[in-house]
Structure 1
């Protein structure tokens, strides 16, 4: 089967699904709403990179370092001493993406229904803060304001609009004479929808707290968090990585849910490899921290290959997004791609998003067991370019060559699905241009 035949078959199967999903108003609102937050996500991600320079001071001797390494050490020292200041742009952009998404999704869905978009967005924001960031002693928790609260934000953004629409459809609104200012009319008629939203959604949150001791966001996290015992073997590890990526497709930050499990396991086994090296032996434990790095090259779903394809896309949207996302992607930050393409609720790109990490993790395990690369025995810095992480994990250039091979493999996996999606995007862009000209 040649590539053209494969693309035609994929196009025939996936394009109708993509069109149907793309035109469904709720999914369209999720996609459009997340796109509204994209500039903030991109800029915030850049500041996270600035605050985490790719150098490990423990591996560099300042007395023998060259000018470049001395600069890197100075940058690292500055970043450590001013970490909170440097990460403030990240914390107040990506760190509140859940809250912003609640507003944006409700705004877009209300627009689909020809309702008052701004008021719908404000109601969704208020409900999100009540449920995900309640005030305690004058302070609010920020734990679920960001990507960890995104799933709840999506639900709130959609449900609040539907509740408001329920009120409007039944005509439960007051009509005033034309002499009454529109602002007063809008104010009065927003009271009942807001009250009903509080009764339904916040009432549900209170009910959950009463029965479980924690709110809706914490309850969802507990339900989704799997057990540690299954991940210390390749099949369990692949299962939990796949579970994480399925959650991402649904708008849930799957990486944050599995991170404590896979990172704890990775640190533990990397430490055991380090003990072997200290004793003059070769590291032998394959389930080390590098397995997690193989799973998230370019970010969740191994999207570095997709980003490279997007950079050369014929679609203006995809090309612009690829060029914006390549630097954060090299450092493992791919929220701009996940929410911007988008991959969330995208049946076409969801397939390689799930499949690619399965392949890269499986290959990563095999090459370590077979001795083609050195198993990781050092904990490399987070948010470091993927090729630098590969080298720092075992000080072996074979590891670097291997991760570049994984990028190539990931690009090949994404390619046919990307071409189908690109075709759909081009059709949408050409349709928009035609309407603008008309």
Structure 2
């Protein structure tokens, strides 16, 4: 195990650490995260319409469209909001104007969606031009990422090559920014217009077809949920923030899967996709990456003064899925004794959760709950299924069992060191 950890530290860790700081991936991560507050609020309206109470279902049936409207305006437009956030973040990383980067990215993304002139057949009156929402939510996330990169890189190119309109110093900064972005905006809009309208190439549809095999693998196959689990815990054990690296790559896919689940549930169906981000947050990362809440509990019962102290200051954050105190306090990073259960435990709970959802013993995730909620509570809210709490508790007990022998071995080692210090 020590040789394996050394290989991770020397060979795997450096490129992954570099990848985590790659500006485009960081912009994608930050831009998507900026939309989470809207997604969480919007998804709670799905909880309201899906309470398993017959009298409540009958009561809200006539009002269903009105109640789910906040969901459609938040989750249904997540790619639109993310396009601005990602563009802003990437532009700022280049020391460009963030607002211009965000606006140009959002405009480029919207240009890939052709408005339709809708006519009310009942009254034969025109309702006006309407942008279809099909690709403004999770399904359009890949397009939002691509158009964001194109828009900001064109903005950067024009700025670097001084291809811009400069206004006198007396002109207000906000007005000057608008004119500086005029040429890049023209280039961006003309390029997207030519591809989407003049050539008739549907960027959204093409990207969805391109990524659909990857989405299917990540969403509904055992290998698709096991590989991210192992990569995240391996990176954490080596000192790299695993969720930041792997999440930056997979979060767009996770959001596509989650939004599909949400839309189907909002329309009265059953969520089909297993491998959403909630799959990991609710049932595997109990207490944070690696399922470390179980280790916090074991540390509290330790005979080692040091481990008991770590357990005390790690327990409350762990209850709310914040585990940096125990990861760095134990430490788990580059610690072969604790790294083994940190990696193996979530792999086992990923298996139990996958089997439970595949056999429809527990509903799939269709609501994005706040990540800081304790696991059993969050599991019920996110799946609208009380059995999810049972599964979360079962997984916690599994993690306890996996961590226990390694905890005892580590405790023995520390007790010996503490006794030696007392003798000295």
Partner residue of 2:288? Answer: 309
Whether the 8 Å CA contact 1:305–1:410 is kept in 2: the answer is no
Q: 1:155 aligns with which of 146, 163, 167?
A: 146
RMSD, aligned α-carbons: 4.9
Note closer, same or farther for the CA distance 1:150–1:319 as it changes in structure 2 (3 Å cut).
Answer: farther
- Does the alignment pair 1:218 with 2:200? no
Partner residue of 1:104? Answer: 85
Note closer, same or farther for the CA distance 1:136–1:322 as it changes in structure 2 (3 Å cut).
Answer: farther
Whether the 8 Å CA contact 1:387–1:403 is kept in 2: the answer is no
Partner residue of 1:43? Answer: 41
Q: 2:222 aligns with which of 235, 238, 245?
A: 238
Partner residue of 2:115? Answer: 135
Partner residue of 1:73? Answer: 54
Distance between the aligned counterparts of 2:136 and 2:78, measured in 1? 7
Partner residue of 2:126? Answer: none
> SS of the residue aligned with 2:95?
coil
Q: How many residues align?
A: 313
Note closer, same or farther for the CA distance 1:401–1:148 as it changes in structure 2 (3 Å cut).
Answer: same
Whether the 8 Å CA contact 1:306–1:411 is kept in 2: the answer is no
Note closer, same or farther for the CA distance 1:355–1:96 as it changes in structure 2 (3 Å cut).
Answer: farther
Whether the 8 Å CA contact 2:257–2:276 is kept in 1: the answer is no
TM-score (norm 1): 0.56
Distance between the aligned counterparts of 1:222 and 1:413, measured in 2? 41
Partner residue of 1:276? Answer: none
| TM-aligned CA deviation for residue 17 of structure 1 | 4.3
| TM-aligned CA deviation for residue 143 of structure 1 | 1.1
| TM-aligned CA deviation for residue 136 of structure 1 | 0.8
For structure 1, the 5+ residue unaligned runs are 56-71, 268-288, 324-350, 369-374, 392-398, 415-438
Matches within 5 A, 1:372-383: none
Partner residue of 2:394? Answer: 405
Partner residue of 1:434? Answer: none
> SS of the residue aligned with 1:309?
coil
Partner residue of 2:17? Answer: 19
Whether the 8 Å CA contact 2:258–2:365 is kept in 1: the answer is no
Whether the 8 Å CA contact 2:91–2:97 is kept in 1: the answer is yes
Distance between the aligned counterparts of 1:168 and 1:90, measured in 2? 39
TM-score (norm 2): 0.58
Distance between the aligned counterparts of 1:377 and 1:22, measured in 2? 36
Matches within 5 A, 1:335-414: 359-360=351-352, 363-364=355-356, 385=380, 389=385, 404-406=393-395, 409=398
Note closer, same or farther for the CA distance 1:378–1:208 as it changes in structure 2 (3 Å cut).
Answer: farther
| TM-aligned CA deviation for residue 301 of structure 1 | 4.2
Partner residue of 2:239? Answer: none
Whether the 8 Å CA contact 1:356–1:413 is kept in 2: the answer is no
| TM-aligned CA deviation for residue 12 of structure 1 | 6.3
> SS of the residue aligned with 1:92?
helix
Whether the 8 Å CA contact 1:97–1:146 is kept in 2: the answer is yes
Q: Deviations over 1:409-438 (max 9, x none)?
A: 589999xxxxxxxxxxxxxxxxxxxxxxxx
Note closer, same or farther for the CA distance 1:90–1:379 as it changes in structure 2 (3 Å cut).
Answer: closer
Partner residue of 1:30? Answer: 28
| TM-aligned CA deviation for residue 217 of structure 1 | 1.1
Distance between the aligned counterparts of 1:320 and 1:109, measured in 2? 34
- Does the alignment pair 1:173 with 2:157? no
| TM-aligned CA deviation for residue 243 of structure 1 | 10
Q: Deviations over 1:359-399 (max 9, x none)?
A: 2366559xx9xxxxxx65999996693897485xxxxxxx9
| TM-aligned CA deviation for residue 90 of structure 1 | 1.8
- Does the alignment pair 1:196 with 2:187? yes
Higher relative contact order (CA 8 A, sep 6+): 1
Q: Deviations over 1:346-368 (max 9, x none)?
A: xxxxx99x967862366559xx9
